[in-house]
Amino acid sequence: MAIHSLLLAALASSASAVNLYVASYAGTVSTLQVTPGLGEDVYAASAALRFISTNKDCGSAPSWLTFAENRILYCVDEGFATPNASVNTLKINADGSLTKIQSIDTIQGPVSAQFYNDGKNGAVALAHYSASAISTFLRTRDGRLSPLENFTFTAPPGPRPEQEKPHEHQAILDPTGKFLLFPDLGADVVRVYSFDSNSKLKEQKSLQAPTGSGPRHAVFWSPKQSYSKSDIYLFVIHELSNRIISYAVSYPSAGGLEFKKLQELGLYGDRADPVGTRAAEIIVSPDNNFVLASNRNATVFTLPNPDPSNSTQIPSDSIVTFNISQKGELTFQELSPSGGSFPRHFTLNKDGSQIAVANQNSGNVVIWKRDAKTGKIGDRLATAEGLGQTTNVLFDES
């Protein structure tokens, strides 16, 4: 009987267990193993969320994770506590633990990494928040990087205290794979670059954001999920104005990108913005039907403690879901709890049935059930606590 149920448990776990990588300002990248269906509202020690390993090879302040081919994970170290920041290549071992391949110093404050020009070996672009810069590196398929270019921006900053200088906050590639975009929270622009066959960048006309809005992150979308140049939209999330602005994107023959503003909407549906709210992440769901975004520093939910023996309730910030019409129009669907304070980053699994949220100020990652068809976020499946300030979370389904 005992052996029988052990076997069943082993089968269940080999069939559906997925690893989760969590970056934290504690200087760690943790590997956690998620096995859905084996429990609810449980701590990491339980069957549903198992702790595998901790890696400390991504400097003092891991801020962003990106998968590459050949079971390689790139980890960006923001480096605010050390003279240099770094970008680190980690090999994913069979058991989900991580081993360093290479570490390379960068200018200060990188918070996002994006691969581009992937025809050959390709390159990676970093957005540097504190150093007001963009830097690029050539990369090889075995995960090694070498510095290519860097650009530092100066004035004009925006009117808000957070905008004392330019702050590059993300690097993203357009759906044609020909342009890189860098939202700049300090300068109220989204910078646009093309690049040549050697991965060298060439500045194009920027997208101007509203004054004081603080564009932070953005995501492209197309109803066709294709790489054609028609029917392409860009959704930009602004940290200071707490608005999403959508644009229709076109590709003029003269080069660069053109943006036509379509819609501007808040992140709380019919409710007024709570005082202090700060928008963070924006993604499109894997089925292409929903946009999800996160709201930090605004407790709009209270949750039971994940530890059933602890009666202290947990204040929670929120995740907002919009659906997308064929014409790129967003409609507010729902607000749901993030599971803690400051949901800086979150991610959906491949079939959209789970969302994992990194609540930075709670030092946790919370996994929620999600109905992929309706987009509705449901029960809390698992919570991992004590991870330090969590900054990025990825499901390993590559």
Q: N- to C-terminal Cα distance for the chain?
A: 36
Burial call 245-255: b when 16+ CB within 10 Å, e when fewer:
bbbbbebeeee
60 near ligand NAG, rule: CB under 6 A? no
> Which tokens is 90 given?
């980690």
Of 253 and 312, nearer to ligand NAG (C-beta) is: 312
Q: Which stretch binds ligand NAG (CB under 6 A): 95-103, 221-229, 323-331, 365-373?
A: 323-331
Contact between 112 and 123 under an 8 Å Cβ cutoff? The reply is no
CA distance 42 to 305: 10
Of 252 and 276, nearer to ligand NAG (C-beta) is: 276
Residue 362, classed as helix, strand or coil, is: helix
In SS3 terms, 175-241 reads as CCCCEEEEEECCCCEEEEEEECCCCCEEEEEEEECCCCCCEEEEEEECCCCCCCCCCEEEEEEECCC
Amino acid, single-letter form, for residue 381: L
Of 46 and 323, nearer to ligand NAG (C-beta) is: 323
310 near ligand NAG, rule: CB under 6 A? yes
String of contacts with ligand NAG for each residue 101-130, x by CB under 6 A: ----xxx-----------------------
CB of 389 to ligand NAG, least distance (A): 13
288 near ligand NAG, rule: CB under 6 A? no
CA distance 342 to 326: 32
Among 128, 139, 243, 278, binds ligand NAG (CB under 6 A): 278
Among 70, 93, 230, 305, binds ligand NAG (CB under 6 A): 305
Classify residue 264 as exposed, middle or buried by CB count within 10 Å of its CB (0-12, 13-18, 19+).
middle
84 near ligand NAG, rule: CB under 6 A? yes
Of 147 and 388, nearer to ligand NAG (C-beta) is: 147
Classify residue 346 as exposed, middle or buried by CB count within 10 Å of its CB (0-12, 13-18, 19+).
buried
Among 103, 297, 361, 374, binds ligand NAG (CB under 6 A): 297
CB of 151 to ligand NAG, least distance (A): 8
Of 314 and 320, nearer to ligand NAG (C-beta) is: 314
CB of 364 to ligand NAG, least distance (A): 9
396 near ligand NAG, rule: CB under 6 A? no
- Picking from 63, 96, 72, the residue whose alpha carbon sits closest to that of residue 393 is 63
Which residues in this chain contact ligand NAG in the complex, by CB under 6 A? Answer: 83-84, 105-107, 147, 150, 275-276, 278, 297, 305, 310, 312, 314, 323, 325, 331, 333
